[in-house]
A and B are shown apart, each in its own frame.
Chain A
Amino acid sequence: MDIAGSFALLLAFIVAVYAFIAGIAGILTRRTLLTKSAQNAGMAVFFLITFAVGTLEYFFFTDNFSLVYVAEHSNRALPGFYKFAALWAGQQGSLLWWSWLLSLYAFLALFANRKKHPELMPYVGVVIAGVQIFFLTLNNFVANAFNILGSPDTSGVMRVASLGDGHGLTPLLQYPEMVIHPPMLYLGYTGFTIPFAFALAALLGRYPGEKWIHITRRWTMVAWCFQTVGILLGMHWAYAMLGWGGYWEWDPVENASLLPWITGTAFLHSVMMQEKRGMMKVWNVWLVFITFMLCILGTMLTRSGAVNSVHAFAQSSIGSWFVGFLAVILLVCLLAYWRNRDYLRGDNQLDSLVSRESSFLFNNLILLAACFAVLWGTLFPILSEWVVGSKISVGAPFFNKVNIPIAMFLLFLTGVGPLLAWRKTSADALKRNFAWPSAGGLLAGIVAFILGYRDFYPLVCLILSVFVVLTICSEFYRGARVVAAREGTNLLSAVGALTMRNTRRYGGYVIHLGIVMIFIGIAGSAFNKDIQAELSVGQSMTIGPYTILCQNFDATANDNYQSARATLEIFRGGKSQMMLYPERRFFPASGETETMVALRSTPLQDLYVVYAGRSPETGNPVIHAFLNPLVKWIWFGGIVVVLGTGLAMLPNRRTALALASVPEKSWDGTVAAGAPMQGVAAVARRADAHD
């Protein structure tokens, strides 16, 4: 079996090489049969890697500890759920998992378009095969998950050894979210390969028209959505497992996942400039290229431990492979761009500072600034070592100082941008669209100020959040009122009808609402509190409105771990609310300890309790309690973002004939800024102009 899996992986490599070479030959010779064969090979890679992954999973489930990888990441007592997840617990398995997800995407992209775009798809297949070759090289020759435990004996024959039990899975990974977080994040990382392939293919093949940009946009949304979910799950995992009371600490690996997310977000916005106005073509192509390169960089930072202080303990040689691959990608992109730069000439210029175009430009500018700052901060230890010879790291204050103002400006643009018209917005339209939302935001700010919430950034965040929510609500309301009046339905069903007719636009608004919720949740961290105390049975401590009474502490054990735990009763206003059981687990197989945080979560605040260990002097448990306001909003905001993305990817429901027949006028700014009085026709135009 191990030979079969290993062989399938090798075959996958060979088939990918064939897909690459035959694909190029097919393009050069213009033989359809060759191109067809290359595409089929591209799809076959998926089945081969699937088989390899399947056999590795089989080894995990049958406790076959003759494989190094299985022995290092599993043990007999490990629950089945985690045996499955152990596949991506280490270097080799993670890279295999990357390859598999990439081959899945490749299969879907090639299969869905097998009869379409005959001028474009051969190039797409070649680019994808090129990326696959790199990862399959790592899988086969650099970090092979199928290495067996054993050593050659005197006659040179491998003597297979097998362990009685494995080393076990790192306890930090023994958490339900760890089973879905890596696949989600990797679906994001790998997913950006497809838009990259389409963009590079269109450039190389000088594919006429803008069709490719629509395909690229859709695939980017898929990858972006997975990336968002992956990042948020990772934050939630860190929050629930690491026991330091926070969810984000600007660790290089966290930053790595954020970088392509930022550029992906920038692309999803600026792509509209190209679709609607034929502007920013060069910029868009490069955003897609850079996003993909950042995905590769992110995988490299995660896998090689190049910059993590904690990883400074362990070094892996795999980094140089990634650096080489990045250099090749950059070179190919530069060459493709240089040879075809005339293909990307823009059609229009910026007309006014107060316009949709300019809001997108600013959006892109600061997203790129954020990306650059995060990248710079993350790579600073490497850069400083090169330049001045001493390794210098930067911490949270650096990232926060730059990124919080950027986040606030982005929030502002989120409110303003969608309501500005293309080309130019009149002062009148500005007043009409923004008077009420601005007043609402300022009012909320004044109320908060009077109530005593006077920290600068949280206050700004509140004002802007209210402003954005009101602008979005007013958009739904105005559109729905027109639909309701015309079709005689009530306002609520009109909102539904409106949304389904332009899913992209209104789905986008829903995503914005989710982002606002996430920002509100993050702003809550400005008011975090924590307290730590030693509690013997019967003693209590107070944090915010809660009193924590220690009822008991005990120790238990099962096959997998030994645990020490405290039983705490939580009081609020003198009344008992619930019991919390913060816990510490020790895993004999791996010799590691993990914290199980006990959480009482409400929309307003989380009471987060950690069993921090026994006091060395008295033997009493030390309890560390945190009061974190609004954290739940982050997770809910994430759900809203996912729903919004799903909505935005649905096809538009056909609008009524009367609407469809309205001639599509130019993106006439002053009309577009939205007065429902101008009736259905104006709304129809506006909808076109705004999505």
Chain B
Amino acid sequence: MKARTKFLVGSAIIVLTLVSLAYVGFTQSKTYYHTIAEVSTLQGPALRQRMRVSGNVRNGTIQHYPGHLDFILEEEGKAMPVRYEGSAPLPDTFKDGALALVEGRLMPDGQFVADQVQAKCASKYEANPNAAPGAKPPQPGPTSTRNSPDSGAASGSGS
């Protein structure tokens, strides 16, 4: 076999392996963005997907319990009960009226169980929309807490 053919065969094997790995990783970690209004209309398998929902924390609904924390997220008149079961304490910016982004799954009883909650004080954000440098992660600083094992100390490669 010519060297060129061998190289092409080798490349094909590598690429196919990577594509299948990518597919597995994709199905494990894909997260759908939904609005609260959309969440209530989801049906079938879409209900069991991992999703990310944003909204405002309704005033006076934050309840602390041992091991978890409950609150109600609302947007455009629609509301959704959320339970946060992460171990990391929530950021200081998480309070009544704050803009919050929750990531997790919807339970059959309609409650959203989140393992990640990001929050940002809305007024500050409007005043100063671009406070970040040319650089790094939670940019203009919506502080976040993370609990998913995958996003922990994710190992980067080649960096």
A: residues with CB less than 8 A from B are 72-73, 88-91, 94, 97-98, 167, 170-173, 178, 181-182, 185-186, 189, 230-232, 234-235, 237-238, 242, 244-251, 253-254, 257-258, 261-262, 265, 299, 302-303, 305, 308-314, 316, 349-353, 355, 358, 361-362, 365-367, 369-370, 373, 376, 381, 390-407, 409-410, 518, 522-523, 525-526, 528, 530, 532, 584, 586, 590-593, 612-613, 616-617, 622, 624, 628
Contact = CB atoms under 8 A, between A and B. Distances in A.
Nearest to A233: B135
B146 to A, nearest CB: 5
Nearest to A262: B158
B135 A402 contact: no
Contact of A313 (B88, B136, B142): B142
A365 B131 CA distance: 38
Given A401-B24, A402-B21, 5 more contacts: A242-B137, A309-B101, A366-B14, A590-B128, A613-B92
Contacts of B124: 590-592
Interface of B: 3-4, 6-7, 10-11, 14-15, 17-18, 21-22, 24-26, 28-34, 52, 54, 64, 87-89, 91-93, 99, 101, 118, 120-121, 124-125, 127-146, 148, 150-159
Which 6 A-B pairs have CB atoms at the shortest separation, nearest pair first? A401-B25, A407-B157, A246-B153, A398-B25, A395-B29, A403-B157
A299 B155 contact: no
Nearest to A252: B137
Given A398-B25, A401-B21, A244 B133 contact: no
B89 A73 contact: no
A89 B133 contact: yes
B52 to A, nearest CB: 7
B150 A397 contact: yes
A403 B54 CA distance: 30
Given A246-B154, A369-B15, A182 B52 contact: no
Contacts of A395: 29-31, 148, 150-151
A425 to B, nearest CB: 12
A396 B29 contact: yes
A245 B147 CA distance: 11
Nearest to A181: B135
Given A393-B31, A406-B18, A182 B134 contact: yes
Contact of A397 (B25, B54, B156): B25
A655 B155 CA distance: 43
Given A392-B31, A617-B64, A404 B155 contact: yes
A72 B128 contact: yes
29 contacts: A173-B131, A178-B133, A186-B134, A237-B136, A238-B136, A245-B153, A247-B153, A248-B159, A302-B135, A310-B138, A313-B142, A314-B125, A349-B4, A362-B7, A370-B157, A391-B33, A392-B32, A393-B30, A395-B148, A396-B148, A398-B30, A399-B154, A400-B25, A401-B28, A402-B22, A522-B157, A592-B93, A592-B141, A624-B88
Contacts of B87: 532
A187 to B, nearest CB: 11
A286 B152 CA distance: 36
B6 A353 contact: yes
Given A238-B137, A311-B139, A381-B33, A350 B7 contact: yes
A398 B29 contact: yes
A173 B14 contact: no
Nearest to A628: B153
A352 B141 contact: no
B135 A353 contact: no
A316 B130 CA distance: 9
Contact of B135 (A234, A311, A314, A394): A234
A210 to B, nearest CB: 24
Contacts of A230: 135
Contacts of A309: 33, 52, 101, 118
Contacts of B34: 390
A264 to B, nearest CB: 12
A530 B71 CA distance: 26
Contacts of B141: 170-172, 592
